[in-house]
Chain A
């Protein structure tokens, strides 16, 4: 009988290689522990941006959730966020689940909710769940019919949790959905879209300034579009900047349908890598970015924190605005100790693990989703600061930051903001 949480050292994991990852770290190989540490990303409907909230990123839209009651239950939690008036439900009973007879009722339901709205919605997002995934519902066809009947755009949002590890998981599919209303338009060379998140970048993000240096005058993010008209102008973009790989399919759709090419950037916390990425980005668009002052500011924040708290030992989680392995690698390279990482190991981040293994071989790697995390005992840990809401759960007595705010950190501003937030949180100890 195991009575401790499973972990593996970075050294051992790197040695095993990406083709021999232990089953405890592979969520498909075991039951999934949905601890309070994992709710936002394991079941995003519960907290954070899941399909339901993300689908409403289209300005003026409403959502009709078509499902058994269980799928819509936790939507009540979103009422605190001001979504009360934008969610509607069509409840399936057990006969619907088996026969799919609910599909014939959707056009009427769409018309009914449009009539119930004080202001006519710009679009009705139809959210469907595992039941329709299994029934093989052609929801595009159903939506087309509903749209013709109700006189409003009707778009499917697939909350198919069953396909989470497939080619088109729900959070990828919903990103396609929210841009699917855009129509071809004449291009404006000084317009750019930022894709990837459902909330804006931090206002102090240097990306805005750098784009202006390159002659961009109009930078659009869906979350900053005040109305549907502004949203539709996203079709005018000269190119899309994709900041989250889950938006890659949406960008490909836009390239095909709207002739908008895209460039992908990655969120990182290693300053030299950020600088290199901007350099390559500049080459791609034919400019040389002057990013020195942003680099210096970020570098100064790292140094200041190191001076105040150089002996801190971190636990880094994945319920945070970072890849926990990349962030851990950055911290280690800046001279900090990272004792524990809670993350999902995959092809994308294995290269970070190999680097961590060289610099900090004893760093322990846990999977939040492993059933053994039920036995996690903080007494076995030497951590004294956390980053990530999941890490905070495991270390209730430590100081740290959740770093999961809705305003998205990116680039140098992300690094600066991170270390300033850490400095504030740990300040009392350092003072």
Chain B
């Protein structure tokens, strides 16, 4: 049996996740591809592309670059672009091409820093991973490179880790999240990568605490805790008004919430705060054991997804309506909960 996708289409890949984290930070981002991966990111997975300018470039690799080794040529092009644009750092993002030819990303980082004089990040994505892996790796590399100095802690400030349009399906997710954090009494929020720049990352040690709103932010929160002693909590105070309105009439029902784990857990908590429903969480993406409850499960392919839904006897599914295509025999209630990384659809 092969794993063939018949009803859905591929979810946002690791490359898109990595770019999503870095998009607003003023770096010069090079996707190490022939053009198609960059087109996918810019034309589909990065909805900010049509609203804000960001220095995202394709390496423009050609077959001979790949066969003969492209490092020197790539770094020369990077150096040239740095001389013509205003960049605070450079970032090189992997794709299937460097994955096949075995590109040495550590060497690329050293070469880029030496030739441009700017800090360089490398994110070794392959295009076969999912967006949250790319986000996790890019975020960690970003903070390890730039959040290195200990600043005095500002009381009442909260660093928010894991806000991207891929996670929250909203172009204003940074602003809305900041408002939700403040409204919940957690403090004054700095949403890294959405609504705040590189300077905020550099001053990350000044946050009194960190809030992790998606699993992709966990490793970075651990890094900041280990390096600066900044404590973190895992929660998502942001549930859209639209979804909130739909979370009614669930008493006594078996409910399955499908999204990224932290947000899905928050939806479960919101449901259980008002009613006695039986709620499980499932995700196509990272499912951290520490955040799982009994009955939660990871989704891996269409067949198993359909079987799990049938076997679970769920009365209500809360998930991106795009997923309905794979549930041809499900006749329960389906509450739409957009997930950009799944369907490429923003909240309305």
Contact = CB atoms under 8 A, between A and B. Distances in A.
- Ranked nearest first, the 10 interchain pairs of A and B with the lowest CB-CB distance are A43-B39, A46-B43, A70-B127, A161-B34, A70-B13, A31-B57, A69-B10, A74-B44, A89-B5, A68-B128
Given A46-B40, A77-B44, A31 B96 contact: no
B184 interface: no
B248 interface: no
Interface residues of B, number: 65
B10 A28 contact: no
B343 A76 contact: yes
A17 B99 CA distance: 40
A32 B60 contact: yes
A162 B45 CA distance: 22
Contact of B36 (A71, A134, A135): A71
A43 B67 CA distance: 22
A30 B13 CA distance: 26
A30 to B, nearest CB: 6
Interface of B: 1-6, 9-16, 30, 33-40, 42-45, 49-50, 53, 55-63, 65-67, 77-78, 80-81, 83-86, 95-97, 99-101, 126-130, 322, 325, 343-344
Contacts of B86: 1, 3
A34 B50 CA distance: 11
A227 interface: no
Given A70-B96, A70-B127, A164-B34, A371 B39 contact: no
Contacts of B59: 31-32
A162 B128 contact: no
A267 B61 CA distance: 30
A346 to B, nearest CB: 16
A129 interface: yes
B127 A77 contact: no
Given A32-B57, A97-B126, 12 more contacts: A1-B86, A30-B77, A31-B60, A43-B42, A77-B344, A79-B9, A89-B5, A94-B126, A129-B36, A129-B96, A131-B96, A161-B34
24 contacts: A2-B84, A28-B62, A30-B60, A30-B80, A46-B43, A68-B96, A71-B40, A71-B127, A74-B39, A89-B4, A91-B5, A91-B128, A97-B99, A98-B100, A109-B2, A112-B6, A113-B4, A130-B66, A131-B96, A134-B101, A161-B34, A162-B63, A163-B63, A371-B84
B39 A1 contact: no
B99 to A, nearest CB: 5
A76 B30 CA distance: 24
Contacts of B63: 133, 160, 162-163, 166
B39 A89 contact: no
Contacts of A72: 9-10
B40 A73 contact: yes
Contact of A371 (B50, B55, B129): B55
B81 A31 contact: yes
Interface of A: 1-3, 6, 27-36, 39, 42-47, 64, 67-77, 79, 84, 87-94, 96-98, 105, 108-109, 112-113, 116, 129-131, 133-135, 159-166, 371-372, 374-375
A71 B96 CA distance: 9
A335 to B, nearest CB: 36
Contacts of B126: 68, 94, 97
A166 B62 contact: yes
A73 B100 CA distance: 20
A246 to B, nearest CB: 17
B13 A69 contact: yes
A34 B38 contact: yes
B16 A73 contact: yes
A135 B67 CA distance: 11
A10 B22 CA distance: 38
A306 to B, nearest CB: 35
A375 B81 CA distance: 12
Most buried by B among A105, A135, A159: A105
A149 to B, nearest CB: 12
B45 A73 contact: yes
Contacts of A31: 30, 57-60, 77-78, 80-81
Contacts of B99: 94, 97-98
B112 to A, nearest CB: 12
Contacts of B55: 371, 374
A53 to B, nearest CB: 14
Most buried by A among B2, B101, B126, B322: B2
Contacts of A161: 33-36
A97 B101 CA distance: 10
Nearest to A35: B42
Given A43-B36, A69-B127, A36 B50 contact: yes
Contacts of B128: 68-70, 91-94, 96-97
Given A33-B57, A90-B2, A134 B39 contact: no
A45 B39 contact: yes
A182 B130 CA distance: 40
Contacts of A372: 84-85
A92 B42 CA distance: 22
Nearest to B100: A134
Contacts of B6: 88, 112-113, 116
Given A108-B2, A161-B34, A47 B62 contact: no
A295 B83 CA distance: 51
Contacts of A64: 4
A193 B57 CA distance: 40
Contacts of A79: 9
A162 B61 contact: yes
B60 A27 contact: yes
B3 A90 contact: yes
A165 B62 contact: yes
Contacts of A165: 62
B253 to A, nearest CB: 30
Contacts of B37: 70-71
A109 B2 CA distance: 6
A68 B100 CA distance: 12
Nearest to A166: B63
